[in-house]
A = this chain, B = another copy of it.
Amino acid sequence: MNEYRDLRVALLGCGSVGAQVARLIIEHGDELAARIGARLTLSGIAVRDTTAKRDVDLPQELFTSDAERLVQGSDIVIELMGGIEPAKTLILQALQGGADVVTANKALIAAHGPELAEAAEQVGAQLSYEASVAAAIPILRPLRESLAGDHITRVMGIVNGSTNYILDRMDRFGDSSEDAMRVASELGYLEADPTLDVEGYDAAQKATILASIAFHTEVPVDAVYREGIANITLEQIETAKQAGYVIKLLAIAERITSADGEHGVSARVYPALIRRDHPLAAVYGGKNAVFVEAEAAGELMFYGAGAGGAETASAVLGDVVSAARRHVVGGPGIAGSLHAGLTILPVGEVNTSYQVMLEVQDQPGVLARIAGILAEHGVSAASVKQSIADGAHERASLVIGTHIGRESDLAAMVDSLRASDLVHEVTSVLRLEGNE
């Protein structure tokens, strides 16, 4: 057996992911040592309550409540506490002490990623966070390294498993929104505060991280346009199904050009219609997937588990092995280079198409007048379908699919439809994505 030098690994946090990371480091010790050329030695696990019960049986002497002290003298620090503080301060202390840092903390990276990356770069340390987006799926490394010679044009991800589970139940089992939410909650898919998932905040954090890495540009999380799935109805899903679509909550990061010719970046989260034969349409249940379009590579998709203790731990360990190899053989830390500095353009500048459902007066000439409203905004219809005519109430239901246009024009068109005396109600407005 080879004699390997030891690398001191400090683990901060021991929830479902942390416990699995500790287990893998211990159980796979020999195999990891052979791959790295050094042995990962767990020097301690910092937790608030050192006597709490864990998912995995771990040596009690590893636990400490003194995270600051544990960080000192570590070669690699794994931060799995979540939240902003004390995680951020501990990560900065670790980096300043020369340690490489691996984290799965999407909230922290979305809020302070550039600051932490700069701190790492200043001391030549490595900061990596593959597990912060889509858990087990290798997506940040492929975006950063495999596609480094290409020009990424769009990243479109199903990056929140809870909302995908809810939408998938509605689509495949005909659950109402309320029933699907209840089942998701019972199965532990939803956080204690479900608005983080349902209103798209979680997906927006991931959109920030994906956009920053794909486009080498700092994209603050509050620059991400965001709509959640709280108002998606079973009727919308059924109508989509009949037309050959499925509704998915998408996090989109895209290079776009504004109306006045400025090249920039858009980052946004909203539920959208996707054609049934699009690879993202076959992402069922709580699974995640990220669809990437690049100038030369064309269309790529990365699919897998978007949550789970062991699954997330796999991504964390991949980063740990990368950092450990660097300790053995030298070389630079990964620099989260933001050299491009593209402008972040507002959602109004995005090109998309709309599917609008509305109830109109069932009278002669109504279609021509609706078409006139579209034309006023420079919007052209790709399809108009009169789905139900209710003679008794003199109402008709229309489903209008538009050609691709500018979001600001499409939104203004919907406002005009709402204001028209012909229109009783606009019952649904959804964007179509992945269609061009």
Contact = CB atoms under 8 A, between A and B. Distances in A.
A413 interface: no
Contact of A297 (B146, B148, B216, B304): B304
Contact of A303 (B150, B277, B303): B303
Nearest to A34: B339
B141 A317 contact: no
Given A35-B337, A299-B305, A302-B302, A320 B149 contact: yes
Given A142-B141, A329-B331, A329-B332, A149 B321 contact: yes
A316 interface: yes
B149 A138 contact: no
B28 A314 contact: no
Interface in A122-149: 130, 136-138, 141-142, 145-149
A175 to B, nearest CB: 18
Nearest to A147: B318
A62 interface: no
A147 B304 CA distance: 13
A20 B294 CA distance: 14
Contact of A149 (B28, B151, B305, B337): B28
B296 A310 contact: yes
A311 B298 contact: yes
Contacts of A137: 300
B149 A130 contact: no
Contacts of A326: 331
Copies per assembly: 2
B136 A314 contact: no
A290 B24 CA distance: 25
Nearest to A300: B304
A1 to B, nearest CB: 12
Contact of A332 (B149, B303, B318, B331): B331
A98 interface: no
Contacts of A130: 146
Contacts of A340: 34
Contact of A136 (B145, B298, B304): B298
Given A24-B296, A136-B297, A294-B314, A149 B330 contact: no
Contacts of A146: 130, 138, 141-142, 315, 318
Contacts of A284: 277
A296 B313 contact: yes
Contacts of A141: 141-142, 145-146
A148 B31 CA distance: 10
- Which residue, of A34, A150, A282, has the highest number of chain B Cβ atoms within 10 A? A150
A250 B146 CA distance: 24
A322 interface: yes
Nearest to A279: B303
A294 to B, nearest CB: 6
Contacts of A310: 295-298
A32 interface: yes
A416 B414 CA distance: 70
A9 B298 CA distance: 25
A301 interface: yes
A35 B148 contact: yes
A308 interface: yes
Nearest to A136: B297
A284 B380 CA distance: 32
Nearest to A148: B321
B300 A303 contact: yes
A307 B25 CA distance: 38
A357 to B, nearest CB: 28
Contacts of A322: 145, 148
8 contacts: A34-B337, A34-B339, A149-B314, A279-B303, A296-B311, A297-B310, A300-B302, A325-B332
Interface of A: 20, 24, 28, 31-32, 34-35, 130, 136-138, 141-142, 145-151, 216, 277, 279, 282, 284, 294-305, 308, 310-311, 313-322, 325-326, 329-332, 337, 339-340
Instruction: Give the 9 A-B residue pairs with the shortest CB-CB distance, closest first.
Output: A331-B331, A149-B317, A138-B146, A297-B314, A148-B321, A296-B314, A300-B304, A138-B142, A329-B332
